[in-house]
Amino acid sequence: MIPQHRLEIQNKFNYSIPTSGPALLILTMLVICTHLGIAQSVQINVSPNIEMNENADLRILGQAQQNVFAATFDPAKLNFYKFGSDMKMVSNREVVLHERRTNLHHIALVNNTIEIIYSYRNRSLLCFKVETFDLALNLIDSSTIGFFDKQGYFPNFINLLSPQKHFLTIYYDDISNYRQYFTIDIQKKSLLWTYRWDHSLEKTDARNQTDVLVDDKAIVYPIFSDFHANNEKPPVKFIICKLTPKGQLPASVIDVPFGINEFKWSIDQTSSKLILTGTYWTKEETKAKGIFYSSMTLPEGFIMKYKLNEFRPAIIDALKESKEKTENGIENLSAPSIFHRSDGGLVMILERNRLVERSQPTRAINGSYRSIFDYYYNDMLAVSIDSSGQEAWSTPMFKRQYSQDDEGIYSSYASIKSPLALRLAFNDEIRTNNTVSFYQLLPDGTVSRENILNLNINKLRLMFSQGVQIGQNTCIVPSFNRGRIKLAKFVFH
């Protein structure tokens, strides 16, 4: 193990002076900017290594009192890390949970306190506990919510937070094919409602759950889909169920009269609407013809209004890859990331990505083959939709990311949203000595790209898709390289 002071020294001097090539050009530009007094638009600080087990879960909690907080959790222990504004380690402390066989459901930094919700077993009964700590990790309050019936020893818990993070919904399937829902009021540290739901009538081989959402009124919306064959009408059907503190409301059955490639459900709390957006197809199922938008008033609504926005030829040509046919649309567009606006509209970001599996002969005598997985995360498309579902603008953004046998963990982007701009940061290439760039997207659709010139991140392998925004212009991005975890703090000016 490397001593802590050695980690800090390595963090400051983790690069050698380049004598040729692109690295020398980057260093020269940094020196010129420093001498001319030109401020960089991004400030970056990197933490020392975080010691964690292979099966541990890393949580980035946020910042308070100019410090950044993170935690790691495995079934054995819960560790908290406190970093200064420069990401130097301030403290590392283990918190002992007073029960055994725990499952961590929620951990958050709220109003200069740390809230933890976890479950445990009292003999064979399931129990939930809420604990609150101050920033020095002194226990302030502890509350046991309740004891519930036997539900099996190892259920698969799913945790959902409401948009304003006031309510936590936990659900799982028990051994009797019933789905158990628990909704906890985090501020009051109490169980708001519980529901044991027979979902077997809503879930068949052809009709599967696609999403579960919870709003700021503690209403849960399990959504099921039914994709029909190509010759059947309608091609897609959604069943939207509604579970409330007063019981279950009648479900909404929504027929979609067109083919869907990828889609995303979300809740717009400003307009109290359930939103369905994504891409649709007309002639070729693998190619997206354009963007669709649909909405339904919550919670009583039963009708969804659809708006189709076909891609402009200029957008299709801009995103065209070499030797690719552009008739009938764009291939390999992912499900969109959704950013709701205060005026009831939204901005969606779509990314072109694909996975290619191929075989390669091994050196074994028996002539066996092994599978190789190639990950491509390429250009992005930003689309702004107004509150009526009409496209306001769309603009392409270009990048090329290729990796092999890494599950694409270093690809894609991190988003940093503020009232003035939406920024998307990403690795230019997936390799050890890498450079980083970001796009800045303004409300009118104006886009600009900037390279981040900072030698602190030259040898980091940043996982931007796991980045967490902790302030209006601040994002924490984890780095994983040769078994070592570090956190990089990006502050955009």
In the numeric block, the tokens 């959402």 are attached to 213
The helix/strand/coil state of 21 is helix
- Residue 381 is predicted with a pLDDT of 97
- Residue 284 is predicted with a pLDDT of 81
Residue 9: enclosing H or E segment and its boundaries? helix 4-12
476 Cβ contact partners less than 8 Å away, ≥ 6 residues apart: 60, 68, 70, 467, 468, 470, 487, 488, 489, 490
Q: Which of 132, 103, 105 is nearest to 120 (CA)?
A: 103
Residues 90, 95, 101, 106: is their CA dihedral positive or negative?
negative
The answer on pLDDT for 96 being more than 90 is no
The helix/strand/coil state of 401 is strand
346 Cβ contact partners less than 8 Å away, ≥ 6 residues apart: 266, 268, 275, 277, 338, 339, 340, 384, 385
Share of residues in the chain with pLDDT > 90 (%): 48
Q: What is the mean pLDDT of residues 157-169?
A: 91
The helix/strand/coil state of 399 is coil
Q: Is there a contact between 414 and 379 (Cβ–Cβ < 8 Å)?
A: no
The answer on pLDDT for 401 being more than 70 is yes
The answer on pLDDT for 393 being more than 90 is yes
The answer on pLDDT for 163 being more than 90 is no
Cα separation, 230 vs 222, in Å, equals 25
Q: What is the mean pLDDT of residues 371-398?
A: 95
The answer on pLDDT for 338 being more than 60 is yes
| Per-residue pLDDT tens digits for 3-49 | 322 222 222 223 333 434 544 444 444 434 433 333 458 999 999 99
Token duo for residue 208: 């599967």
| Per-residue pLDDT tens digits for 196-237 | 877 665 554 445 778 999 999 999 999 988 776 555 566 788
Q: What is the mean pLDDT of residues 63-87?
A: 91
| Per-residue pLDDT tens digits for 250-292 | 888 888 888 898 999 999 988 889 999 999 998 888 899 999 9
Tell me the range of 48-57, 83-92, 473-482 where mean pLDDT is highest: 83-92
Q: Maximum Cα–Cα distance for the chain, whole Å?
A: 70
In the numeric block, the tokens 């503190």 are attached to 245
Going by pLDDT thresholds of 50, 70 and 90, the confidence category of residue 153 is low
- Residue 230 is predicted with a pLDDT of 56
